[in-house]
Amino acid sequence: MEKDRKKGIIIRMSKKEFIIKFTIAFFVIFFSFIYFINIYAMTDKSPVLVNKFKRAFEKIQEYLILIATPAAGVAICTGLLMRKFSFGDEERVRTAKKLIRGTIIAYALIISTKLILNFILVILR
């Protein structure tokens, strides 16, 4: 009886694939939203809400850089100290390398987000 019942389609993907696809979809939606808000904000009849959104994104961008810079510095110093004081323990060295690499990648993404948003604003003006 149970064999006759149809099962739904299950899409199997690894965790890494899911994170990559989710991140790409998020950035596409996020940047398209910002793009359309900026296009509409450049018109003469742009409502107050669109201008508030534009200013809010600019403030979020500033705060993100303001918070990320010291956090990245602390994380890199922590990774360097972990690596320095690992005393030959391979697990600690690997953890320190992952911490340093992850911090640099995350900070590069934050900086590139700022550059991309500024590029969109320059194109729209």
pLDDT digits (tens, 9 = 90+) for 14-25: 888 888 888 888
The closest alpha carbon to 63, from 110, 117, 122, belongs to: 110
Q: Does pTM top 0.75 for this prediction?
A: no
Q: What is the CA radius of gyration of the chain?
A: 22
Q: Check residues 34 and 17 and name the one with the higher pLDDT.
A: 17
Please compute the mean of the pLDDT values over residues 91-103 and round it to a whole number. 89
Question: For 50-65, how does the pLDDT look when each residue is reduced to its tens digit (9 = 90+)?
Answer: 667 777 777 877 888 8
pLDDT at 110 over 60: yes
Question: Within a 10 A sphere around the Cβ of 7, how many other Cβ atoms?
Answer: 6
**48 has a pLDDT exceeding 80:** no
Euclidean distance between the first and the last CA atom of the chain, given in angstroms as a whole number: 65
Residue 40 is predicted with a pLDDT of 64
Q: Would you say 33 and 53 are in contact if contact means Cβ atoms under 8 Å apart? A: no
Torsion angle of the four alpha carbons 117, 121, 123, 125, in this order, in degrees rounded to the nearest 10: 180
The mean predicted confidence, pLDDT, of the chain is 78
> Do residues 68 and 107 lie in contact, with contact meaning Cβ atoms separated by under 8 Å?
yes
Cα–Cα nearest to 95, from 78, 74, 109: 78
- CA gap 34, 109 in Å, rounded: 17
| Range in 17-21, 33-37, 38-42, 119-123 with the lowest mean pLDDT | 38-42
Contacts by residues 92-98 (CB-CB < 8 Å, ≥ 24 positions apart)? none
Provide the pLDDT confidence category of residue 112 given band limits of 50, 70 and 90: confident
